[in-house]
């Protein structure tokens, strides 16, 4: 699994629970190192060990922890870069949702060896969408749930998200997240200034 993904989880744990908690998790994972490097590559087995240790330490379902990680990635000022990159997807939430189809390609433009599962947005009716997340990165759909929720806040819209499981009930098939847009301009969103990024 790409270092960026491992590193994102590390950033979430350190920022939310502190360095000590992370050190304990990595000790329990027994990988022989204590930090992930964003620009290196790790085996799936290494990432799985870390995730299992994380789950043990938190005593919560991994799906919930991953969803919180997704929220953290968008809403925490420490990782502002990712939120900005996502905001480039559209001027409103619906446009942003449609831009998710391009997300894996956009990710690859930024980091050539970062492969994210293919995403497909299906508009069921106005304001009602299914986001189909192809397999390949276990847990990615939960991180997406957190990202989708936080991005709705970012745009100031109110949405209801529902994780519908896999399409045919097996682990190998695509997962579905249903998205209901309840109200646009529900709250004051965060501003997005195209030129705010200092070079």
Partner 1 sequence: MMNDADLLKIMDLLCPMHAVVDAAGRLVSVGPTLKKLRPDLEWAGKRFFRIFDMTRPRRVRSMDDLVKTAGTKLHLQFRDSPQTGLKGMLIPLPDGQGALINLSFGISVLEAVRDYDLTSADFSPTDLTIEMLYLVEAKSAAMEASRQLNLRLQGAKIAAEEQAFTDTLTGLKNRRAMDHILERLIGSGTDFALMHVDLDFFKEVNDTLGHAAGDAVLQSVARVMVECTRQSDTVARVGGDEFVIIFERVNETRVLAGLAKRLIRLLEEPVPYGGKMCKVSASAGTTLSTWNSGTVDAAAMLHQADLALYAAKRAGRSQHLFYEEGMQKDEPETAENGVH
Read off the DSSP letter of residue 178: E
User: Can you name the residues that pair with 132 across neighbouring β-strands?
Assistant: 120, 176
Nearer to partner 1 among residue 107 and residue 137 (C-beta): 107
Nearer to partner 1, 109 or 160 (CB): 109
The nearer residue to partner 1, 52 or 106, going by C-beta atoms, is: 106
Closest C-alpha among 47, 26, 28 to residue 137: 47
- Output Rg (C-alpha) for the chain, integer angstroms: 17
**From the CB of residue 154, how many other CB atoms can be counted at a distance below 10 Å?**
20
C-alpha distances out from residue 198 to 88, 100, 134, 193, Å: 16, 26, 35, 11
Least distance to partner 1, CB of residue 174, Å: 26
d(CA 57, CA 71): 20
Complex with partner 1: residue 106 or 115, whichever CB lies closer:
106
CB of 153 to partner 1, least distance (A): 20
- From CA 120, how far away is CA 15, in angstroms rounded? 31
* Binding-site ranges for partner 1 (CB under 8 A): 4, 37-40, 81-82, 84-85, 88, 91, 106, 109-111, 193-197, 199
- Minimum Å gap between C-beta 178 and partner 1 is 28
Question: Is 38 in contact with 46 (CB distance < 8 Å)?
Answer: no
User: Nearest approach, Cβ of 6 to partner 1 (angstroms)?
Assistant: 12
Q: How far is the CB of 194 from partner 1 (least distance, A)?
A: 5
Residue 169 Ramachandran class (φ > 0 left, ψ -120 to 50 alpha, else beta): left
Considering the complex, state which of residue 85 and residue 121 has its C-beta at the smaller distance from partner 1: 85
């Amino acid at each position: 699994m790409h270092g960026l993904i491992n590193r994102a989880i590390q950033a979430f744990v350190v920022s939310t629970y502190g360095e000590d908690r992370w050190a304990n998790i990595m000790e329990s994972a027994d990988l022989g190192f204590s930090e992930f490097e964003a620009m290196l590559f790790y085996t799936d087995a290494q990432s799985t060990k870390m995730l299992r240790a994380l789950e043990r330490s938190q005593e919560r379902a991994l799906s919930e922890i991953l969803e919180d990680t997704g929220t953290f990635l968008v809403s925490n000022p420490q990782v502002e870069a990712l939120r900005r990159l996502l905001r480039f997807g559209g001027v409103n939430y619906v446009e942003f949702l449609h831009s998710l189809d391009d997300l894996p390609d956009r990710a690859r433009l930024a980091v050539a060896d970062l492969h994210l599962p293919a995403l497909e947005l299906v508009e069921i009716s106005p304001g009602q969408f299914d986001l189909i997340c192809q397999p390949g990165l276990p847990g990615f759909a939960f991180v997406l749930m957190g990202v989708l929720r936080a991005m709705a806040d970012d745009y100031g819209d109110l949405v209801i998200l529902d994780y519908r499981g896999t399409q045919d009930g097996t682990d190998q098939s695509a997962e579905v997240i249903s998205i209901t847009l309840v109200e646009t301009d529900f709250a004051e969103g965060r501003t997005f200034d195209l030129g705010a990024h200092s070079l």
